[in-house]
Amino acid sequence: MGQDQTYIHGYAAAEDRRLHDQAATLEELLHHDSTFPAGSSVLEAGSGVGAQTLPLLRRSPGIRLTCLDRSAASLDAARTRLRAAGLPLPDFRQADLCALPFPDGAFDHAFVCFVLEHLPEPDAALAELRRVLRPGGSLTVIEGDHGSVLLHPDDEAAQAAIACQVALQRTAGGDARIGRRLAPLLVGAGFVAVRVSPRPVHADAGRPALVDGFVRRTFTAMVAGVRDEAVRAGLTDAAAFEAGLRALLRTTEADGTFGYTFFKATAVAPPAQR
């Protein structure tokens, strides 16, 4: 994701760690079927700090990967991570997702993860992705949906803190509930063979890795990251927000549960018009 005002989570080291924690925790759920043939050209659009690039390269050895992002600093961080992991370096390009610097039909496949939710015009980005895909090329999109959160014990303060993040993202031009919109967005952008599969996360005491990796270090950390901005915007006060964070963490106790649903969509660029 590019470094601009639409990315509400910021670019500090803590956010870099959170993104990598999230990717590692959810890799099997989201990417067990994210594979591309060796030798094929793949564009990862909005690749950010490389959190999703790592599983892409591990699961699809031999692909010709291009990583594109608006932020030079994020691309540098990705380059460092991939080099440390001993993975082949992609072709890194700094550019805008809505104005891709590639000719028509340049790629066999495109991959976008946790990016459309931050864009004021996701339909424009999808149209650009369709343009740079060859006819019959595939697009994979993964997004979350903050309206899918299920808590036990449920708590109004926790839901209010989550709502602050949704509201701030909307103000920045994004949509934290975009997961439910993937099918109509892809159809509207001219893709065919659109398929969407929900990828639910359920964390309870029997799944301690998910409780720690997702509930504590991914989701609650993400909500906590907007505390100051939510207070400044008048959406809440510090005491109420802290109560919400405590309630989110309450779900990580022995009798708590936390649920969230991601959505993974695949689609195909239409055949060339005769």
Domain spans in the chain, listed from the N-terminal domain onward:
13-268
Q: DSSP secondary structure string, 67-94?
A: EEES-HHHHHHHHHHHHHTTPPP-EEEE
pLDDT number for residue 24 = 82
Classify 193 in phi/psi space as left (phi over 0), alpha (psi -120 to 50) or beta.
left
Rg of the chain over all Cα atoms, to the nearest angstrom? 18
SS3 4: coil
pLDDT number for residue 274 = 56
Residue of 243, 110, 220, 226 lying closest to 174 (CA atoms): 226
SS3 262: strand
Tens-level pLDDT at each residue, the chain (274 residues):
444 445 444 455 566 666 677 778 899 999 999 999 999 999 999 999 999 999 999 999 999 999 999 999 999 999 999 999 999 999 999 999 999 999 999 999 999 999 999 999 999 999 999 999 999 999 999 999 999 999 999 999 999 999 999 999 999 999 999 999 999 999 999 999 999 999 999 999 999 999 999 999 999 999 999 999 999 999 999 999 999 999 999 999 999 999 999 999 999 999 976 5
pLDDT number for residue 20 = 73
Amino acid at 31: H
- How many residues in the chain? 274
Q: Are 42 and 56 in contact (CB under 8 A)?
A: yes
CATH number of 13-268: 3.40.50.150
- Does a cis peptide bond (omega within 30 degrees of 0) precede residue 153? yes
Two tokens, residue 137? 């090329």
Pairing of strands 192-203, 64-69: unpaired
pLDDT number for residue 7 = 43
Residue of 143, 131, 109, 129 lying closest to 36 (CA atoms): 109
Match 């649920």 to its residue by tokens: 259
